[in-house]
Amino acid sequence: MTIQPDQLFEIGKLYWDRGDFTMALPNLLQATDIYLSQKNYDAYLKSLRLVLRIYAERDQHDLITQIKENLHDLVIRESIELSSNTYYTLGVCANYKGQVDSSIDYFRRALELGLKANRQEDMCNAILGLSICYRQQKKYEEALKEIYNLNIFLQLLNLTELKIASANSNAMILMDLKRYDQALDVLWTAYEEIKNTKQLVIAISILANIGIVLFELGQKDAAKIYFNLATKSIDPRDSKSILNKIQKYQNEINQTDSSASDLIFDLEKHSVVEKNLGSIDFKNQFILLDLLKLFIANQGQIFSKEYLVEHVWKQNYDPAVHDNKIYVTIKRLRKLIEPDYDKPKYIFRAKNGYYLNRTAKVEIKELQSEGVL
């Protein structure tokens, strides 16, 4: 019984979803060859793009170059009409080769033809491609604008994989802009959406990006967990690109002295030492000192605004008076103890209050008891 190309493609796609590129590749290549012999160019290009993604993950850029050259030859030899699908695939090839300007030209043409032919999935692919290119050029405003346009289309279309890819791309733009809290929210939304696809290869990418965001937020122990989850789920022979990205951060974590405390609070001297900043001078700012002491003594516990006012300020909570006061005080405390104010690693905000990062290594030096003479 002869296996049909659609069956080969589906088998290859299933292996691709699992991240088993060694098993996926021969099925996809065989499907691609049959589609080409049948002159089923849309199916051919769809299968070819998965092959390209495998080569990109394996850093086999010479094979990507060969595919791009073969595609150009095919267009000339067969006088194939350059559809939005064709231009998009050429744009993918160019992007994997680092030819961003050429890639943008291809994606723009793909979008133009997709709009003209009302091919909605082609339009969405082209918009996502443009967003990725603009991010690579650090044109973040343009990149976010394309994500916004894409999400408008995706609200009306049942394209789950594109929704996840859009969210992942959006998160990476936000990461570049150091808007880590927003990036984390977007990544969690994407991770929830993965449950509808069962695609391990995409889940690994999301896990890696969650780890990077947590790393940048100063939560290195939490980041390590996500990096380990991602690396244990991939074959290093197949996923070189993502593995190299993860290992860069893992190496930096490993270089950190894991035995040293992040914060040391000396009760006797009323002093605080931060691992990177050294001794911190509170300059008789006793409210800040009492606030930090409360957080350190109850690491990970969330304290409401009402509790903080009643136990630190010793006043009855009045939101009109105290909400701004708490906000300003937390801001002042962060400026004192955070090595990087824009990426806080100690004092975090929850929906119902504030708390000290559960993964921070803190130490309290107790009062020394005096001996009896």
360 and 285 part of one domain: yes
The answer to whether residue 269 scores a pLDDT higher than 80 is no
> In the prediction, which pLDDT does 367 show?
53
| Mean pLDDT, residues 258-287 taken together | 80
244 has pLDDT over 90 = no
In a domain, residue 14? The reply is: no
| The pLDDT value given to residue 333 | 93
Specify if 5 maps to a domain. Answer: no
pLDDT of residue 274: 86
pLDDT value for 257: 47
Is the predicted pLDDT of residue 368 greater than 80, yes or no?
Answer: no
Strand partners for 280: 272
Final residue of a structural domain among 256, 290, 310: 256
Q: What percentage of the chain exceeds 90 in pLDDT?
A: 55
Residue 251 shares a structural domain with residue 270: no
Report field, pTM of the whole predicted structure over 0.85: no
Domain boundary among 232, 256, 280: 256
> pLDDT (tens digit, 9 = 90+) per residue, 64-112?
999 989 888 888 876 666 789 889 999 999 999 899 999 999 999 999 9
Whole-angstrom Cα Rg for the chain: 27
Domain boundary among 210, 237, 256: 256
Beta carbons within 8 Å of 18's beta carbon, 6+ residues apart? 200, 201
Can you give the residue range of the structural domain that contains 345? 263-365
| Residues in CB range of 19: below 8 A, 6 or more apart | 200, 201, 204, 233, 234, 235, 238, 239
pLDDT in tens, 27-44: 999 999 999 999 998 899
pLDDT value for 1: 59
CB neighbours of 140 closer than 8 A, spacing ≥ 6?
134, 173, 176, 177
Residues 225 and 267 in one domain: no
Residue 56: how many other CB atoms lie within 10 Å: 19
Report how many helices (DSSP H) and strands (DSSP E) the chain contains, helices first.
16, 6
Question: Hey, which of 193-202, 265-274, 353-362 has the most confident mean pLDDT?
Answer: 353-362
Let me know whether 206 and 228 are in one domain: yes
User: Is residue 372's pLDDT more than 50?
Assistant: no
Q: Which residue has the tokens 């002093």?
A: 271
User: What values do phi and psi take at 217, rounded to 5?
Assistant: -80, 0
The stretch 245-256 carries a mean pLDDT of 80
For residue 87, how many other CB atoms are within 10 A of its CB?
A: 23
Q: Are residues 271 and 252 in the same domain?
A: no
- 7-16, 134-143, 332-341, 358-367: the lowest-pLDDT one: 358-367
Both 292 and 225 in one domain: the answer is: no
- The confidence score (pLDDT) of residue 373 equals 31
3-state helix, strand, coil in the chain (%, to 5): 65, 5, 25
pLDDT at position 79 is: 66
Nearest to 144 by CA among 112, 176, 96: 176
Residues 227 and 270 in one domain: no
Per-residue pLDDT band for 236 (boundaries 50, 70, 90) equals confident
Does residue 371 surpass a pLDDT of 60? no
Q: What region, left, alpha or beta, does residue 57 occupy, with left being phi > 0 and alpha being psi -120 to 50 degrees?
A: alpha
Classify residue 309 by its DSSP letter.
I
**Banded pLDDT at 2 (limits 50, 70, 90):** low
Distance CA 364, CA 293 (A): 9
Q: How many domains does the chain have?
A: 2
